[in-house]
Chain A
């Protein structure tokens, strides 16, 4: 089973490549919404998670706590994968 740290690394690489500008110093603790993460970015991330892990994040899990930063997002993905 994939671990939270690995998911975090992959999410971080995806966001750096596809969503944020190279000059944004994106770390696992960066406030995503504060850095400009928007609804279209969210759809991109949901599709990335679905393609990479076969998991579609349920509506109730998508909240400000989950999207606080890459680390919190990775932890939720990891928990749902373990529950599945």
Chain B
């Protein structure tokens, strides 16, 4: 019998989004890390190292199995390394690659695309299924592949941090989260409807980069408005204010905005476990009157976060997502959308802090820049991911071509940038 590894609640949700995206003609719920390298790298060395890592972590070749309580079915015998494709330099290639599906059901959970620009430069695109890994886990895995001398740690079980509870207690806790969603649904959000019909079902992205000086200025603004350690809250508040203004510009009012704030579940000081999405969502709701100014929005987010933590909604959210694993995927997705009257949320928001310092070199080449990319589902069709590379802020702004034009996305990005810098 093949060994099996259960997906945790967040993994299953990510698999659900994959199902939803494919159903609507998109490539699926894949993420990318794009490394800009300061030298060409050898394809053979990459192949060799990826094979060693795949042999150590056969889950890289696993297939999702079961309609409910799903497991990764690990491959029998020899495992193959993630596929490596080599390309000539072409404009916007990483974006095109993001829209090429991974064959998740056949065990293709990761892929490399190497763009050899010349002897002095190369771009490596690592694409992976979000159901398998979160951003920090993928960074760590990539760092292990890129360092030939690194020891490969154990792939710790994805559910290690979850304390078992009696079923009755779990239902009681999960119910709390359902009640919260029900309350949000009384003033349900309405995301931007697809307006550019007939365009290919593509996820597009652009990256806003900030210099060290601008990053320092944004950090100061964040501390001034959200207090010490309030950086992520400041980013979220700025993004929500700009989302509200975007809705106003496009003449698409919404009674409320729902923001799933991701909360990392890894203990501080530990990168492991590599696999499984070690993150949960704290659901917050903002009304248009909370969004008149960044200060007001930040205060509303802070107050709601404290209230939600005090009410134990973080724990109950984890328990609810674990319970949802017992539902078949299409039913799960239908319930997710029905919960907020047809919506999933108003904006996908990610804040993954600093890029893993182990990613400073990859197979001998200096890593000169890093980009994080993720997919977004048709509702809401818009997302932002904040991260720091060598202490400089980066924001990846993701949108569906059917929801926003490139010009509208560029305007949103420029206004978000100005808002962070000049609040």
Contact = CB atoms under 8 A, between A and B. Distances in A.
Interface of A: 19-24, 33, 35-44, 46-47, 59, 62-64, 67
B305 A43 contact: yes
A56 to B, nearest CB: 9
Nearest to B232: A39
7 contacts: A22-B267, A35-B269, A36-B269, A37-B268, A39-B230, A42-B229, A64-B228
Contacts, number: 55
B154 interface: no
Majority SS at the chain A contact face: loop
B345 to A, nearest CB: 19
For chain B, which range describes its interface: under 10, 10 to 19, 20 to 34, or 35 or more residues?
Answer: 10 to 19
Interface of B: 227-233, 263-264, 266-270, 305-306, 309-310, 353
Nearest to A39: B229
Contacts of B231: 39
Majority SS at the chain B contact face: mixed
A20 B269 contact: yes
Contacts of A67: 228-229
A33 B229 contact: yes
B267 A19 contact: yes
Given A24-B267, A35-B268, 19 more contacts: A21-B268, A21-B269, A24-B270, A37-B268, A38-B268, A39-B230, A39-B232, A40-B263, A41-B268, A43-B305, A44-B309, A46-B306, A47-B310, A59-B227, A62-B227, A63-B227, A63-B228, A67-B228, A67-B229
Contacts of B228: 62-64, 67
Contacts of A22: 267
A29 B305 CA distance: 29
A49 to B, nearest CB: 12
A41 to B, nearest CB: 7
Contact of B306 (A24, A35, A41, A43): A43
Contacts of B353: 38
A39 B227 CA distance: 10
Contacts of A43: 305-306, 309
A24 B228 CA distance: 23
A19 B233 contact: no
Nearest to A32: B268
Task: Pick from A22, A38, A44, A64 the residue with the most CB of B within 10 Å.
Answer: A38
The 6 closest A-B pairs by CB, nearest first: A36-B268, A21-B270, A24-B269, A21-B267, A21-B269, A39-B229
Contacts of A38: 229, 232, 264, 268, 353
Contacts of A37: 229, 268
A63 to B, nearest CB: 5
A71 B284 CA distance: 33
A47 B353 CA distance: 24
A3 to B, nearest CB: 26
B183 to A, nearest CB: 21
B268 A39 contact: no
B263 A23 contact: no
Nearest to B308: A43
B31 to A, nearest CB: 22
A63 B226 CA distance: 11
Contacts of A24: 267-270
Contacts of A36: 268-269
A61 to B, nearest CB: 10
A20 B263 CA distance: 15
A37 B264 CA distance: 12
Nearest to B271: A21
Given A43-B309, A47-B310, A20 B229 contact: no
B223 to A, nearest CB: 9
Contacts of A19: 267-268
A38 B230 CA distance: 8
A35 B267 CA distance: 11
Contacts of B233: 39
A23 B227 CA distance: 29
Contacts of A42: 229
B309 A20 contact: no
